Chains A and B, each alone.
Chain A
Amino acid sequence: MADLATVIVERQGEVQVVRLAGEVDISNADGLEDHISAAVPNDAAGLVLDLTDTDYLDSAGIRMLFELGARLDGRRQLLGLVVPERSLIRHSLTIVEVEQAMGVHDSLDEALAALGSESATD
């Protein structure tokens, strides 16, 4: 089976940006978590995980988000998500109250701005 999801990593100033495209379920969530976590260097202020092109994210994917948040928190790094308003995955993220645990933003710019101001006040 071809890879369900692809990960593209780029650095934008202080912040590491990871674009996650495709689908996340129990078959790949653990692997993705390790991969994304490893993609964030210690000197980065935080991670913006861009889910704009994520087509499917079930409870295993949601757990991955919480686990990532916990890992980064342990490294005193911040996590912000990009989930556009029109995204189909947003509904289920809201149900399990992801917004309570991490920033969920409509766009990358918004997420970068929020992370920048948060790290500045930190």
Chain B
Amino acid sequence: MLARSLDYERTLAEVAQLSVPEFADWCGVDVVQPDGSLRQITSGHPDPRIEEFLMELRRRYRQEKGTSAGAMHVIATGESELERDVRGAVQIDLHAGEESGLYETLAPRSYMIVPMVARGRTIGALTFLSTREGRHYGDLDLDFAHHLARRFGLAADNSRLYQEAELARERLSFLARASELMAETLDLERTLEQVAYLVVPRLADWCAIELVAEDGSIHNAATAHVDPEKVKFAEEMRRRWPVEPDAPTGVPNVVRTGRSELFSEIPDELLAKSIDDPDQLRVARELGLSSIMIVPLIARARTLGALTLVHAESGRRYDEEDLRFAEDLARRAAVAVDNARLYTQEHHAVVTLQQTLLPRQLPDIPGMEFAARYLPATSELDVGGDWYDAIALGDGNVGFVIGDVAGHGLEAAAVMGQFRNALRAYALDGAGPAAAVDRLNRLTRTFEQNDMATLVYGEFDAALNSLRFVRAGHPPPLLRAPDGTVTAINGRGSLPVGVSPNARYEADTLELAPGSTLLFYTDGLVERRGETLETGIERLERILGEAPESLEALCDHVIENAAPDPERSDDIAVLALRPIEVDATTFRTSLRAEPGELSRLRRMLMRWLRATKASAQEIYDITIACGEASANAIEHAYGARPASFEVEGAVEGDLVTLRVRDYGSWRAPRGQHRGRGLKLINALMEDVRIQRSEDGTEIFMQRHIGLEA
């Protein structure tokens, strides 16, 4: 797994070299590996052909004798072997020809094999071979060999222990680094990628992570290899041969049982046995898999999936110790994956809640254009709390809100919902901006927590192009005049809602000429780290000045330029509105049959008449006449059901025509007062006709204007 320490390898090589040539002509060191196999290191023979021959002999010898003789036997029993004279007693069949020749050249005389014992454990064996004329080992040599083996054994074991300690330390720091990396992001996909690429190539040539879906199906969530082409190849394989959910071994089994699988070696029989499809088998063989570990990802008592580590082209092998390490890593990864999964769920829940709480469609108000955007924060648990709203208040009036609840997450989104609904209710009640925000502020005292919000609430009278607004601790809206100049609309400004029961909210009035654009936004659009809010607002002013005319395009432009980073640490809400020029030759409105509507009607009518050549006195007189006719309509409307009346106007040259239509029943004028109303209409207009029918009454009025000028 993690590279074995060079010190250990070097120690073993030194052991082999030390006794040559003074004590032996060739020396072999065999060390027991954790998996029980033997690792051999030799002093080497000056003639490489003979070295190769010796290796081959040892291999065959082991195959034939097993643990009945030789180093394997010495290690198994702890008893040494001494062959004083091996001349003429070849213990292994030699192939005729070359091998016999090599054997003669080597000319072995005598050999000894002694166990290497350290801390009461046989850790390997030392083989000493003499090829020197006359050097035959005896009992004294054996004693010396034992002595050497004890010393070397201790040195080798110390080195091994040191290496293990090093390895453990390295693994611990690797795990710490892994935990750190995995904690860096709560994004599930990125967490899985982090885990996979943490492992490759140090711990594996391949790493794959499979997750179990809600329905129990298993799907790949990440694959890593140093070569991206190979990752593509793996994905292709997975498409062709998807994981069989009830396979007896592999990922499905690990997920099912929660127990790891380790295949230290992958003999061809194993591949052939576990893969039926001949094509798949061929591809698997080409991959050259050498060792595989599959460990479960278990967090909070749930098996989330499995981590698969594969050695292939590097030829490395996994052992039990590697498996334990992989399990340790998998436990940490599983917690990270689970956190990311929970986070993703919550992030998704908050975004969904936010979106259901925001208006799906902005109201359709004649003479008014809007566009709005809401972009949830992408990173961390920062979603939630921003909102915008547009409320049709009737009679062409519309309420606008941009707001930002303090805090983030589900709670902030829920509180936002409360603020939004309450403000809607107050707005529809006709409280007016100052009273509506004041009531919202008082409402927060009944909230269980100290919920706070900054907001701008404005009511726009489309007929008058006038906005009354309250700015409660929120960044100022920006106004772009038809000529493109941009100014921040600060108004007098007041405390955020929910801060103090004594806060006072007062409205400011702003004339919005047709064609001017008002931009409301939340701080996510202007705030940047290490920068004042003012700097951000100034930047937004420049951006708004250059933004395209279309409101939809304007919103996109503003967001792309003011908040270009796709990774947002805060929500962004934007609401843009623009009064548009209406046809000046005609006038038409429908009003509730209530006395309170008359002043609104007057304002609309006066604004319309100001666009004509009528003088101030003419405007006043026509307004009085229309007001009298309307008061008449309101008086007709007494009844149980809510009634309305309509006023239509037209200008043709210097002739103004007005029609006031109601759907009530005509009453004859009673008393002097109503008589005065009709008298005024008749005196102020030139042609007045009253048409009564079963459906209601229409008063037709006409007069010329521009007479005084």
A: residues with CB less than 8 A from B are 1-2, 4, 23, 25-27, 56, 58-60, 62-63, 66, 88-89, 91-92, 95-96
Q: Is the CB of B680 within 8 A of A1?
A: no
Contacting pair A58 B679 (CB below 8 A): no
Inside 8 A of B672's CB, which chain A residues have their CB?
Answer: 63, 66
- Given contacts A1-B430, A23-B602, A59-B677, A95 and B616 within 8 Å (CB-CB): no
Judge if B120 is at the interface, Cβ distance under 8 Å. Answer: no
Are B680 and A4 closer than 8 Å at their CB atoms?
Answer: no
The interface bits of chain B over 569-598 (1 if a CB of A lies within 8 angstroms of the residue's CB, else 0) are 000000000000000000000000001101
- Check A88 against B620 for contact (C-beta < 8 Å): yes
B634 with A26: CB separation less than 8 A? yes
Interface of B is mostly: helix
Inside 8 A of B628's CB, which chain A residues have their CB?
Answer: 58-59
Is the CB–CB distance between B673 and A25 below 8 Å? Answer: no
Contacts of B683 in A (CB 8 A): 92, 95
Binding site for A on B (CB under 8 A): 430, 432, 595-596, 598-599, 602, 616-617, 620-621, 623-624, 627-628, 631, 634, 672-674, 676-677, 679-680, 683-684
CB-contact partner of A27 in B595, B620, B623, B676, under 8 A: B595
Residues of B within 8 A of A59 (CB): 628, 631, 673-674, 676-677, 680
- Using CB atoms, name the residue of chain A closest to B434: A2
On whether the beta carbons of A95 and B631 are closer than 8 Å, the reply is: no
**Shortest 8 CB-CB distances between A and B: which pairs?**
A27-B595, A88-B620, A59-B677, A63-B673, A59-B676, A95-B683, A26-B595, A96-B676
Q: Which residue of B lies closest to A58 (CB)?
A: B627
| Residues B598 and A27 in contact, CB atoms below 8 Å apart | yes
Is B634 in contact with A88, judged by CB distance below 8 angstroms?
Answer: no
How far, in whole Å, are A96 and B624 apart by their CA atoms in the complex?
13
Question: Is B621 a contact partner of A25 (Cβ separation < 8 A)?
Answer: no
The residues of A that contact B676 with a CB separation of less than 8 Å are 59, 62-63, 96
21 contacts between A and B (CB under 8 A): A1-B432, A26-B598, A26-B631, A27-B595, A56-B624, A59-B628, A59-B673, A59-B676, A59-B677, A59-B680, A60-B673, A62-B676, A63-B672, A66-B672, A88-B617, A88-B620, A91-B617, A91-B621, A91-B684, A95-B680, A96-B680
Known: A1-B599, A59-B680, A60-B673. A25 touches B620 (CB 8 A): no
Among residues of A, the one whose C-beta sits closest to the C-beta of B617 is A88
Contact pick for A92, options B596, B624, B673, CB 8 Å: B624
**Chain B residue at smallest Cβ distance from A27:** B595
Verify B623–A56 contact, CB threshold 8 A: yes
Residues of B within 8 A of A91 (CB): 617, 620-621, 684
Taking a contact as CB atoms closer than 8 A, the residue among A1, A25, A66, A88 that contacts B627 in the complex is A25
Is B631's CB under 8 angstroms from A23's CB?
Answer: no
Alpha-carbon gap, A23 to B623, bound state (A): 12
Across the interface, do B599 and A4 meet the contact criterion of CB distance under 8 Å?
yes
- Residue in A closest to B621 when the chains form the complex, CB atoms: A91
Q: From residue B610, how far is it (CB to closest CB) to chain A in Å?
A: 13
Q: Given A1-B430, A25-B627, A60-B631, is A95 in contact with B602 using a C-beta cutoff of 8 Å?
A: no
B645 to chain A, nearest CB (A): 14
Nearest CB in chain B: distance from A16 CB, A: 25
Contact A92 B680 (CB under 8 A): yes
**What's the minimum C-beta distance from A107 to chain B, rounded to whole angstroms?**
20
Collect the chain B residues with CB atoms within 8 Å of residue A92's CB. Answer: 621, 624, 680, 683-684
Contacts of A26 in B (CB 8 A): 595, 598, 631, 634
A16 to B624, CA, bound (A): 29
Additional pairs, 13, CB under 8 Å, beyond known A59-B680, A95-B679, A95-B683: A23-B599, A27-B596, A58-B677, A59-B628, A59-B674, A60-B673, A88-B616, A88-B617, A91-B617, A92-B621, A92-B680, A92-B684, A96-B679
Most buried by B among A1, A26, A66: A26
Question: Which residues on the B side are within 8 Å of A1 (C-beta)?
Answer: 430, 432, 596, 599
Q: How far is B595's CA from A18's CA once the two chains are assembled, in angstroms?
A: 25
**What is the bound-complex CA distance between A63 and B617, given in angstroms?**
21
| Contact yes or no, A25 B631, CB < 8 A | yes
Contact A56 B680 (CB under 8 A): no
**Smallest CB–CB gap between A43 and chain B, Å?**
31
CA distance A53 to B674 in the complex (A): 25
B599, B617, B621, B679: residue with the most chain A Cβ atoms closer than 10 Å: B599
Give the Cβ gap from A32 to chain B, nearest Cβ, in Å: 13
Residues of A within 8 A of B595 (CB): 25-27
The smallest C-beta distance from B688 to any residue of chain A, in angstroms, reads: 14
State in angstroms the CA–CA spacing of A28 and B640 once bound together. 23
Beta-carbon nearest neighbor of B430 in chain A: A1
B26 CB, min distance to chain A CBs, angstroms: 110
CB contacts (< 8 Å) of B674 on chain A: these are: 59
Residues of A within 8 A of B679 (CB): 95-96
CA distance A56 to B600 in the complex (A): 13
How far is A56 from B622 in the complex, measured between Cα atoms in Å?
12
Interchain CA distance A109-B431 in the complex, whole Å: 41
Q: Is the CB of A89 within 8 A of B620?
A: yes
CB pair A58–B599 under 8 Å, yes or no, is: no
B432 near A2: Cβ-Cβ < 8 Å: yes
Q: How far is the CA of A62 from the CA of B679 in the complex (A)?
A: 12
What residues on A are CB-neighbors of B598 within 8 Å? 25-27
A14 shortest CB reach to chain B, Å? 31
Report the Cα distance A26→B684, complex, angstroms.
19
Q: For A63, what are the chain B residues with a Cβ–Cβ distance below 8 Å?
A: 672-673, 676
Q: Which residues of B contact A2 (CB under 8 A)?
A: 432
Q: Name which residue of chain B comes closest to A98, CB basis.
A: B676
Residue of B nearest to A63 (CB): B673
Q: How far is the CB of B214 from chain A (nearest CB, A)?
A: 56
Complex: A50 Cα to B430 Cα, angstroms = 31
Q: Which residues of B contact A4 (CB under 8 A)?
A: 599
Report which residue of B596, B620, B631, B673 has the largest number of chain A beta carbons within 10 angstroms of its beta carbon: B673
Point out the residue from A58, A66, A89, A96 that lies within 8 Å of B631, measured CB to CB: A58
**Distance, CA A56 to CA B672, complexed state (A):** 20
